[in-house]
Chains A and B, each alone.
Chain A
């Protein structure tokens, strides 16, 4: 399982006089099998960080190492679910999920069975042949997640993947993601605005300051493991220890706003 090391990373955009500093001096390691959650105010550079990890943007300074070697662009071992919708409207929902399998030359029948299984797991059974414009925003978001999971990357980078979901679907997908995580041993890099989601999912939660984003807080949490042992998300989220951790994160986010 690959390890992703971020070492004194700064990112700036060339726009404007002197450019826009989006991230400053970020260092962390995405350990194999870890869920690292990123919290931070809108515009603090979360998406920029994800783009750098995926290999879409080169570091302005500092390094990103994958198993000791600097990134050379994107790769299939780092899957993404992007904040802006990136489905292919010329394909059906199922066609989108089959896309990564088609890239690998899987035969049609096997591809189709795999795609249908992923869609079903995400609560979209029977949607294989649906055109995307007939799906709701939350359904499309789940198709994107299904597509990224079907690609089976060792590292999955997710940018607010549950943003458009109702509270109930959101929680059931959080639980599903944790189960899949346990069974696959993937590393997840997960961006969210929800403090509760961060506390529930994260092995590590990292809070960024407003732009230029720096790491101002990090906590190691184990509520994801607690859920996987007990199997009851509501119980975990109602636990006083969880509530305390959540409030502590919220405080860190508030403190970051100055």
Chain B
């Protein structure tokens, strides 16, 4: 590959080559199509792309039972976004506090260290026991799942500020409050945005699993329910939609980060 203008000598090359990416995607699609068309795999296990597409259209129409795809998507999105806002409101201030305050850090660290690596599915039954399988339980579970990455990111972000930057601010007459708002927080923003992206992705993963265990609606429930009726086509639609939404979340958060922290990684 020839070096490109935006490459830095010696650094691994940036970006990709989208024609290649497209070609790989097209090849996979063709393989899938061929597997179904020539009967390499039974349609019970792997329906072809055409079949999945028609099921998708059917699920989008009103004839589908149970409110159709839109109902499931809205249920899942509502849960994850609601819990995301709640987690941000709780975990970001706590994480910032941990970064700034020795006592808060000492107090919360053991808790966070224990429960951050804990898979949310481990305490899922407990939340069901407490709150049943309604929306409150989803909200609690997801908030608990998303809070640690957010808190840790905010905590790490506070450390990102260079001591020279703070010194310069104080020597210009900044108060503690001004230094916090105008130096520490902007310096922490890139880390915080990375935390938001990771938190949202993790929340989505957890949600789909939680909906399979206990829910009446939602994409996870749709996939699980379809498997009970051997509707592999519906399962495939569900999987594709879940993946596409996850990608959309990630892309949106990346875009937001590029908008809000254009300086990040350009030192």
Q: Is the CB of B263 within 8 A of A86?
A: no
Q: Which of B150-203 contact A (CB under 8 A)?
A: 162, 164-165, 167-175, 178, 182-183, 186-187, 189
Residues of B within 8 A of A2 (CB): none
Question: Considering only CB atoms and an 8 Å cut-off, how many residues of chain B contact the other chain?
Answer: 23
Q: Is the CB of A99 within 8 A of B267?
A: no
Contacts A73-B170, A79-B171 hold; do A84 and B164 have CB atoms under 8 A apart? yes
Is A195 located at the chain interface by the 8 A CB criterion?
A: no
Contacts A82-B164, A131-B263, A132-B263 hold; do A88 and B171 have CB atoms under 8 A apart? no
A-B CB contact pairs (8 Å), 23 listed: A74-B167, A79-B172, A82-B168, A86-B165, A86-B168, A88-B186, A89-B266, A89-B267, A90-B263, A99-B172, A103-B169, A103-B173, A103-B174, A104-B173, A132-B263, A133-B266, A133-B267, A147-B168, A147-B172, A148-B172, A151-B172, A151-B173, A157-B171
Q: How many A-B residue pairs have CB under 8 A?
A: 73
CA distance A95 to B169 in the complex (A): 13
Residues of B within 8 A of A100 (CB): 172-173
Is A102 located at the chain interface by the 8 A CB criterion?
A: yes
Contacts A102-B182, A133-B266 hold; do A90 and B261 have CB atoms under 8 A apart? yes
Summarize B's interface: helix, strand, loop or mixed: helix
Is B10 located at the chain interface by the 8 A CB criterion?
A: no
CB distance from A189 to the nearest CB of B (A): 12
Residues of B within 8 A of A157 (CB): 171
Q: Map CB proximity to B onto A66-91 as digits: 1 under 8 Å, 0 otherwise.
A: 00000001111011101011111110
Question: Considering only CB atoms and an 8 Å cut-off, how many residues of chain A contact the other chain?
Answer: 31
Is A188 located at the chain interface by the 8 A CB criterion?
A: no
Q: Is the CB of B171 within 8 A of A90?
A: no
CA distance A151 to B162 in the complex (A): 20
Is A37 located at the chain interface by the 8 A CB criterion?
A: no
Q: Is the CB of B165 within 8 A of A88?
A: yes
CB distance from B265 to the nearest CB of A (A): 9
Is B262 located at the chain interface by the 8 A CB criterion?
A: yes
**Which residue of chain B has its CB nearest to the CB of A151?**
B172
Contacts A73-B170, A82-B167 given; 13 further ones with Cβ under 8 A? A51-B167, A56-B167, A75-B173, A79-B172, A80-B168, A84-B162, A90-B187, A99-B172, A99-B182, A100-B173, A103-B174, A103-B178, A133-B266
Residues of A within 8 A of B171 (CB): 54, 74-76, 78-80, 151, 153, 157
Residues of A within 8 A of B (CB): 51, 54, 56, 73-76, 78-80, 82, 84-90, 99-100, 102-104, 131-133, 147-148, 151, 153, 157
CB distance from B145 to the nearest CB of A (A): 30
CA distance A78 to B263 in the complex (A): 29
CA distance A79 to B172 in the complex (A): 6
Residues of B within 8 A of A56 (CB): 167, 170
CA distance A114 to B205 in the complex (A): 52
Q: Which of B26-59 contact A (CB under 8 A)?
A: none
Interface centre among A75, A87, A90 (most CB of B within 10 A): A90
Residues of B within 8 A of A74 (CB): 167, 170-171
Q: Which of A82, A99, A102, A133 contacts B263 (CB 8 A)?
A: A133
Contacts A131-B263, A132-B263 hold; do A86 and B164 have CB atoms under 8 A apart? yes
Residues of A within 8 A of B187 (CB): 88, 90
CA distance A54 to B174 in the complex (A): 14
Residues of A within 8 A of B182 (CB): 99, 102-103
CB distance from A81 to the nearest CB of B (A): 8
Interface centre among B162, B167, B168, B171 (most CB of A within 10 A): B171
